[in-house]
Amino acid sequence: MSPTTMRALRCMTKGQSPEIQEIARPEPAKGELRIKVAACGLNFADLLMVQGTYQDTPPYPFTMGMEVAGIVDALGDGVNGPAVGTPVMVFGGQGGLAEYACYDAARVTPLPDGANMSEAAALQVAYGTSHVALGYKAGLKTGETMLVLGAAGGVGLTAVEIGKLMGAKVIACARGADKLAVAKAAGADHLIDAETDDIREAVRALGGADVVYDPVGGDQFKAAMRACNPEARILTIGYASGEVPQIPANILLVKNLTVMGFYWGGYLAFKPSVITDSLAELVSWHAEKKIKPHVSNSLPLEQATEGMELLRSRKSTGKVVITL
């Protein structure tokens, strides 16, 4: 391979399986820096991008990979730092499943020397989503009861962990004993098996939910809504079930419920300080060992499509990370 080229996982057309290609190594434009990528976290959104159904799918063809950790390799014009050699992480939305990637320097978050790159790559979308959703958006309070659906998944597991840090009583709902054990290890106070338990009745028996964190949708959303206490807040994060729930407004009215749509990446367009401030605090929490990203699978670039299949089949827990 030429010194001016690199390997990258490319999505060429809608619905076509991505493939590794040798392409030109990017040069940082004005205001950008280049990162030598060490690790890139996979997300459910990557699966949607391949199918062209994600709200921020780039024009085809594009290099996949939303969240990156690595070392600053070069600075574009007008960029004073972070300096070359600095470990950093960035949510770029695309481009991370490659040996090098260029990003707006203002969006990059420096990391402490010696930072675990796989954990840093796994931290951004999952922890950032839960941190902003529970704190900034829902205003979760100490002593409240929070129900987390999909509690062993990439974002669900971080909601369990951050909910406990914020002083909530956490009810974790996931499929099967193995996934529930992962949620329990993250700090869940009560466990509900989505395969066998009646979610509505189980939550009611525990006193009802004040906040619902839902990356699943479908029937689980409906059951959770009916288990809410008056004035509860429901965060609709995603639809891993494949079904976008239709919300009966009369139930919202009778119980004084609030349903909050939440798309973490959307804040980059209209209020980026929400994201950058959150990530800075999460880096501090990670350095202080208050949070510990759970990486269930770490795979090389050549196995990136296998990693995506782990997400599709729901065989992973926590995060799947690709290392370079």
Query: What does the alpha-carbon distance between residue 93 and residue 71 come to, in Å, rounded to a whole number?
Result: 18
The class that CATH gives domain 125-264 is alpha beta
Q: Distance between CA atoms of 317 and 75, rounded to whole angstroms? A: 36
Nearest Cα residue to 264 out of 120, 89, 101, 67: 67
With 0-12 / 13-18 / 19 or more C-beta atoms within 10 angstroms meaning exposed / middle / buried, residue 119 is buried
Q: Using CA atoms, how far apart are residues 297 and 313, in angstroms rounded to an integer?
A: 14
The predicted-structure confidence for 182-240, as pLDDT tens digits, reads as follows 999 999 999 999 999 999 999 999 999 999 999 999 999 999 999 999 999 999 999 98
Rg (CA), the chain: 20
> pLDDT of 234-285, one tens digit each?
999 999 898 999 999 999 999 999 999 999 988 988 998 899 899 989 989 9
pLDDT digits (tens, 9 = 90+) for 8-29: 999 999 989 999 999 999 999 9
Residues sharing a CB contact under 8 Å with residue 228, sequence separation 6 or more, in sequence order: 208, 209, 210, 212, 234, 255, 257
Residue type, 189: D
Asked if domains 5-115+294-323 and 125-264 share a fold, the reply is yes
Superfamily name with CATH number, domain 5-115+294-323: Medium-chain alcohol dehydrogenases, catalytic domain (3.90.180.10)
Per-residue b or e along 275-311, where b marks 16 or more CB atoms closer than 10 Å to that residue's CB: bbebbeebbebbeeeebebbbbbbbebebbeebbebb
Nearest to 30 by CA among 77, 81, 84, 80: 77
* Domain range annotation of the chain: 5-115+294-323, 125-264
Nearest to 222 by CA among 196, 184, 248: 248
Sheet of 19-24: strand order equals 19-24, 5-11, 62-63
**Angle at Cα 67 formed by Cα 265 and Cα 309, nearest 5°?**
100
Task: Identify the band that residue 1 occupies on the pLDDT scale cut at 50, 70 and 90.
Answer: low
